[in-house]
Amino acid sequence: MSMGSLLQVQLQNIPASGWHWHGKFRAADLQDDSCGDIAPLPHGCSDADWDAVLEHKGGCYHLGGRWSISVRCTCCRCNSPVEHTISGNMTRVFRMGSCDDADSDDEDVLPLPGQINLVDVLREEIWLVWPQNAVCRPECKGLCPHCGADLNRASCGCAVDNEDHPFSVLRNIVKQ
Ligand SMILES: [Zn+2]
Ligand SMILES: [Zn+2]
């Protein structure tokens, strides 16, 4: 079986005992733009651990399991790269049929034969918990809001008045 076909599953082919995976998604696939429809991950991530079960229950297909991956994101204060390990529990429900049949927003309705791209599923799960507020270290001083200097390396000549004042951001906007 080629790597491509391992990453695509068809609900129609699922055995009564379901499908169980315990393995890894390659970083190269998660970062490959041609490997799915969901935005690829930025370079620098690890392979993802993936432990999941896909079962046919009550007319629906339940995909549940756990995943974890180390990703490279950016410090929200100074923009330097940060390695972050993220993980999640996923619970997805799929059904085969036409889109008009959807009972709720909680399930994905797929046309026959119910093709699922597992790379896209995992990418969606990862983007949902993508670290937005990561910091390179708790004491990171960030960039100067006036001149952009990295305050971790050097102080700049800008006045340091009211840095924490809630309206200091507005003041910057007015200046421009
Ligand atoms: Zn930082
Ligand atoms: Zn400055």
Indicate the pTM of the whole model: 0.78
Closest ligand to Cα 154? 2
Closest ligand to Cα 73? 1
β-pairing verdict for 60-74 and 48-57: antiparallel
8: which strand partners?
117
Q: How does pLDDT run across 127-149, given as a tens digit for each residue?
A: 999 999 999 999 999 999 999 99
23: which strand partners?
50
Q: How confident is the model at residue 4 (pLDDT cuts 50, 70, 90)?
A: very low
Q: Are 78 and 99 in contact (CB under 8 A)?
A: no
Alpha-carbon distance of 23 to 62, in angstroms, equals 19
64 three-class SS: strand
Closest ligand to Cα 159? 2
Say which residue the tokens 């180390």 belong to: 70
Distance (angstroms) between ligand 1 centre and the Cα of 161 equals 21
pLDDT number for residue 58 = 83
Annotated domain spans of the chain? 3-128, 141-176
Q: How does pLDDT run across 72-87, given as a tens digit for each residue?
A: 999 999 999 999 999 9
Distance (angstroms) between ligand 1 centre and the Cα of 131 equals 13
Alpha-carbon distance of 132 to 142, in angstroms, equals 15
Q: Are 68 and 87 in contact (CB under 8 A)?
A: yes
